[in-house]
Amino acid sequence: MSEVISFTLSQQGDEIALKIGSNVIERYSRAALEKYWQDDAQLVLIMATPAAIRIIAPLIGEKGHGPSVVTIDASGTFVTPILGAHTSANQLARQLGAILSATPVITTSSDTTNTPALDAFRGFYATGDLPRAIALMTLGSRPQISNPHHFKLPLTLVPGNDDIEIVISQNPSEIQSFLDRQTTSAKVALIPKNLILGVGCSSNATTSDVLRLLKTTLAEAQLDERAISKVATIDSRSKHDAITGLGIDIVSYSRADLNRVETPNPSPTVSRFMGTPSVCEAAAMLAGHTRKLTVEKRKSENVTVAITQAQKSGRLFLVGLGPGEKSLRTPAATQVITSVDAIIGFEQYVDSVSELFSPNQLIERSPIGSERERAARAIELCTQGYDVAILGSGDPGIYALASLTLELLAQLDIDDIQFSVVPGITAALSASSILGAPLGHDHCYISLSDLLTPWSAIEKRISHAAQGDFVCVFYNPKSKTRNWQLDRAIEILLQYRPPSTPIGYVREAYRKDQSFHVTTLADFKSSTIDMNTVVIVGSTNTFLDHGKMITPRGYLEPTKERS
């Protein structure tokens, strides 16, 4: 989550701020609020909403500028966006609601009608007759879209031929001419925010020096300042007032990184003072993931700037949702789900987190058994520059989507997609927590599905695990067509373990239909086991106490009897 600043009035508020993981916690004062009141800031006021509205009212400026602000009541029951809802406050409210198990109070018309909001598309700045255009879209109108420069469009922006006109451009003259044109249509310009501004400066440079050169450079290149998404520079200048004063996200690189970039305008002077022949051009190219500059180096007495257009694939997130219970979903999973452009997954998994979705996200559900198709679709969208999350239950790396998706990436020889595996609580850990502590010593996971693995290999693994006296966790234990493998696995284990060995199984762990049972290998019956069940067989050291399986952390040899 981006940096969250919380303002509190009491110890109770402090506790909520700690729970949501605020980066900064301040007792409310007007001076403290003004200190953090800036574009792109995320402010949380833990107090009554009417009081918060009165507090921020004098600071509210032009629409589209200023921070995103949400309130949380003192009991932590409701999270309410009150400023910058489409910018990021609605998204923040959903994230914090998930952390607190609170209700996000989302009242914007686009959200209540499940209509994409023109000023909420990630990676775009929107200007023009936004209120009217958004109102028309909530009534079902579809915009006419002009995209003369062939920019990547938002995934949920569906074109039509109604009384809304949209132009996609970074050219200020083109944008102004479009907005000034006399027409009855609601007109909106979407400005892609993908320009990277590379900056180099002397130690005595000021923000005013940078801005003067930047404005001249943008005017000559016919580029809109609102299209700049990041400033790139050398690490030794990343905290310089001339650059931080721009109020734009900063990325920085070492001399070694910059030295590896071949640029069109290297400078011996810069090399002598900075240890690298290029700062602004090399930094812009690194941040933009491109070797092409949109604007080559321009310089004044104290400043150099260069501009490039970011050229990179989207990011791919493989997200584990855990067992299904909201409180057992990780904050990292929630953050990814609320921030990506597209969400793909098995329909049951997608529906389980639907309260986190925004109308500006593409949501694609598919039936069970379409894993490869989901992976291919996600990769396709990433290559077009979109950020995509594929959802799975449990952990994505355990008999799940992570290996399949990364295998497909390797087969396609695609190496420029950034991917992240977002872990979740595994089915084994969920089942273990319900059964007691059966995984207290060495254990192994074995899938009993022979759809992708020969049964001979599975049987060999069961035998070796039994001989090694591992606690065994069986995934995919039984289906309608695979109905004998679990019984065979128990037969193998009984060759090495006494009939009194504890065995437990959990069906639908942490879901509304949860059930579990603990017994022994001698009394075990597989009739109630299905694909939604995890089976855990204890080692020779595992014992039962008050119906719970316990595997001690210390180990006795199997040949010795437990007293």
How far is residue 541's CA from residue 562's CA, in Å, rounded to a whole number? 8
Do strands 315-320 and 418-422 pair parallel, antiparallel, or not at all (unpaired)? parallel
- Measure the CA–CA gap between 533 and 475, rounded to whole angstroms: 8
- The SS3 call for residue 488 is helix
Q: Look-up: residue for tokens 């574009």? A: 39
Residues 6+ apart with CB under 8 A from 214: 197, 225, 305
For residue 285, how many other CB atoms are within 10 A of its CB?
25
Q: Closest Cα to residue 469, out of 556, 346, 375?
A: 556
Looking at 263, 285, 309, the residue that finishes a domain is: 309
Instruction: Give the CA dihedral 542, 543, 548, 550, nearest 10 degrees.
Output: -40
pLDDT category at 370 given cuts 50, 70, 90 is: confident
- Where residue 447 sits, what CATH number does that domain have? 3.30.950.10
Q: Which of 259, 282, 309 delimits the end of a domain?
A: 309
Indicate if 392 and 433 belong to the same structural domain.
no
Tally of domains within the chain:
5
Residues 383 and 482 in one domain: no
Dist CA 215 CA 307 (whole Å)? 12
Percent of the chain with pLDDT over 90: 88
CATH number of residue 267's parent domain: 3.30.420.180
- Token pair 């010795």 in the structure block, residue: 560
Distance CA 485, CA 453 (A): 13
- Which structural domain, as residue segments, surrounds residue 37? 4-107
Which of 59-63, 199-203, 206-210, 272-276 is least confident? 59-63
Q: Which tens digit of pLDDT belongs to each residue from 333-365?
A: 999 999 999 999 999 999 999 999 999 999 999
Q: Give long-range contacts, CB 8 A cutoff, 24+ apart: 484-490.
A: 485/448, 485/450, 485/455, 485/458, 486/448, 486/526, 486/529, 486/535, 487/526, 488/459, 489/446, 489/448, 489/459, 489/462, 490/521, 490/524, 490/526, 490/537
Q: Does 556 map to a domain?
A: no
Residues 263, 336 within the same domain:
no
Residues 543 and 522 in one domain: yes
Task: Assess whether 179 and 215 both reside in one domain.
Answer: no
Compute the chain's Rg from CA coordinates.
Answer: 29
Looking at the domain assignment, is residue 45 inside a domain? yes
**Residue 85, in any domain of the structure:** yes
β-strand partners of 83: 69
- The reply to whether 485 and 546 lie within a common domain is yes
Residue 460 counted as domain residue: yes
326 phi and psi angles, rounded to 5 deg: -60, -40
265 in any annotated domain: yes
Is 444 in the same domain as 537?
yes
Percent of the chain with pLDDT over 70: 98
Tell me, yes or no, whether 559 lies in a domain: no
**Has residue 560 been placed in a domain?**
no
Could you read off the pLDDT of 503-516 as tens digits, one per residue? 999 999 999 899 99
Per-residue pLDDT reduced to its tens digit, 4-44: 999 999 999 999 999 999 989 999 999 999 999 988 899 99
Sheet strands (E) in 285-380: 295-299, 303-309, 315-320, 342-346, 362-366
280 and 374 fall within a common domain = no
Indicate which CATH number applies to the domain containing 383: 3.40.1010.10
- 392 plus 322 within the same structural domain: yes
Residue appearing with tokens 């603990």: 518
Is the distance from CB of 65 to CB of 59 less than 8 angstroms? no
Same domain, 376 and 447: no
CA distances from 527 to 481, 487, 490, 505 (A): 14, 10, 13, 12
* Closest among 439, 345, 459, 341 to 394, alpha carbons compared: 345
Q: Is 1's pLDDT higher than 60? A: no
Whether the per-residue pLDDT at 558 is higher than 80: the answer is no
- In 486-503, which positions are buried (b, 16+ CB within 10 angstroms) versus exposed (e)? beebbebbeebbeeebbb
Residue 258, in any domain of the structure? yes
Q: Are residues 324 and 350 in the same domain?
A: yes
415 vs 377, which has greater pLDDT? Answer: 377
pLDDT digits (tens, 9 = 90+) for 427-443: 999 999 999 999 999 99
Contact between 116 and 130 under an 8 Å Cβ cutoff? The reply is no
Residue 521 one-letter amino acid: L
Show which of 255, 286, 309 is a domain's final residue.
Answer: 309
Rounded to whole angstroms, the Cα distance separating 342 from 380 reads 11
